[in-house]
Amino acid sequence: MNKIYNPEPASWSTILERPTKTIDDIEATVKEIFREVQKKGDTAVAKYTSLFDGVAVANIEVSKVEIEEAIATISPELKDAIQLAKSNIEKFHAAQKTNIVSVETVEGVNCWQEKRPIQKIGLYIPGGTAPLFSTVLMLAVPAKIAGCNEVVLCSPPDKNGKINPAILYAASLCGVTKILKVGGIQAIAGLTFGTEIIPKVYKIFGPGNQFVTVAKQLATQFGVAIDMPAGPSELLVVADDTAVPAFVASDLLSQAEHGTDSQVILVSTSKKLIDAVEKEIQLQLEILPRKNIAEKAIANSKLIFVENDTIALELINEYGPEHFIICSEFDDFYSNGVQNAGSVFIGNYTPESAGDYASGTNHTLPTNGYAKNYSGVNLDSFTKAMTFQKISKQGILNIGKAIEIMAEAEGLQAHKNAVTLRLKAIENEK
């Protein structure tokens, strides 16, 4: 990791730069695949599955038999763990339900807001070397609580043309309505346009590599909403001498092992702690099965010393981390002062992996600094708010004149007339 001492604020944007490609580098590829899927549908999807995943899949829709076979291979211990995580995720997201907001703004003018589920949802679940079955729980559980009618899951097939059994078990457990063996750009394109096999959806959720992230952003140009531009994983830890170096190192490595383009950062007011964490990282790194991946991510990562907590907090808010761990004597200062973070973890016994799996919070979070303007996935992500109003005769009398004046000032005579006719009708009744 790169050690940096007392960086000047003017250098922060350079120091905190993410190790990702620019959109320009990959946008042309994404657009080409989108055009082909839009034009050729499932034929194009099959072509790119063969090209990128190295497998020809005869039937991309997962059958009930395949799901049953997969469930049979899951150990009782893993089933119990998944069910515990599902229960906690359900509790936390069910608690996010809101009541109808209703108010009489003036006598006779009643306005209210209700939430409605987004009917057709697409879930993208990464496969590859780390099949994220936990992400199924994070997305399908709130979708079900929200009442989404159609939940379509896409995940890349392995070399045998299958989806990881734990992904299938979690999907079955959470009520996913259709599972498809499709990954990458072609999956996002299929969900965007629809094919004979892949349903067109209204909103796409789920993390992915930089190609998937750009594909999701492109999908928005075709009338499909997305959860957020969620790219490679990242973690920032702020720690002082009250932190346990081994714990801090383990948290940094837990994100570094996600992918070579992941980034982890330690910000500390203690040079002693930075040195201790650096040694712990090297010790723990040696025994990791994904050492090669984590090593490359660590090369993109930083150990940053600053003089005081105020500077540290300013730097953290400038970075806007996806995951933010606080291991400090002054945890209230950081938890109250942080403005830009996807999810916050407080204390020596709150590892980031708790949020990844089983504490109940959602792990689908904004990266690449998008925590400055995006929320992580929550129950409201699967709904839209609709407003209603009902106005009585007295109500239109109370606000009608104001509407007429405003409409006329904007030069919209038909708007004014819509009110004038009603006011005259009420007057004629007298």
Q: Is 394 annotated as a binding residue?
A: no
**Which of the following is catalytic: 93, 257, 323, 352?**
323
SS3 256: helix
Residue 131 has a pLDDT of: 85
Is 48 known to sit in a ligand binding site? Answer: no
396 pLDDT higher than 70:
yes
Q: Give residue 155's Cα distance to chain centre.
A: 16
Q: Specify whether the CB–CB gap between 269 and 237 falls below 8 A.
A: no
pLDDT at 173: 97
What pLDDT is attached to residue 33? 98
The reply to whether 356 sits in an annotated binding site is yes
Q: Is residue 130 part of a domain?
A: yes
Q: What is the mean pLDDT of residues 63-78?
A: 97
Q: Is 184 exposed, middle or buried (0-12, 13-18, 19+ CB in 10 A)?
A: buried
User: Is the pLDDT assigned to residue 430 strictly greater than 90?
Assistant: no
Same domain, 239 and 338: yes
Whether 106 is covered by a domain: the verdict is no
The token pair that represents 214 in the structure block: 């750009």
Identify whether 163 is part of a domain.
Answer: yes
Any binding-site annotation on 124?
yes
What is the reported pTM?
0.94
Residue 165 included in any domain: yes
Note whether residue 111 is domain-resident: no
* Element housing 312 (H / E): helix 309-319
Q: Are residues 220 and 324 in the same domain?
A: no
- CATH number where 221 lies: 3.40.50.1980
Active site residue 286: no
Residue 304 counted as domain residue = yes
233 is known to lie in a ligand binding site: yes
Tell me which of 234, 257, 280, 322 is the catalytic residue.
Answer: 322
- Which residues constitute the domain of residue 184? 23-99+116-228
Catalytic: 363? no
Distance (Å, whole) CA 319 – CA 251: 18
Task: Yes or no: say if 331 and 291 are a contact pair by the CB < 8 Å rule.
Answer: no
**Per-residue model confidence as pLDDT tens digits over 129-165:** 778 999 999 999 999 999 999 999 999 999 999 999 9
Number of domains, the chain:
3
Q: Please check if 169 is assigned to a binding site.
A: no
Mean of the per-residue pLDDT values of the chain: 96
61 secondary structure, DSSP code: B
| 259 — pLDDT class (breaks 50, 70, 90) | confident
Answer whether residue 380 is part of any domain. Answer: no
Q: How far apart, in whole angstroms, are the C-alpha atoms of residue 217 and residue 212?
A: 9
Does one domain contain both 341 and 267? yes
Of 360, 377, 412, at which residue does a domain stop? 360
Length of the chain equals: 430
The domain boundary residue, chosen from 228, 253, 270: 228
Do 133 and 252 belong together in one domain?
no
State yes or no: 363 annotated in a binding site.
no
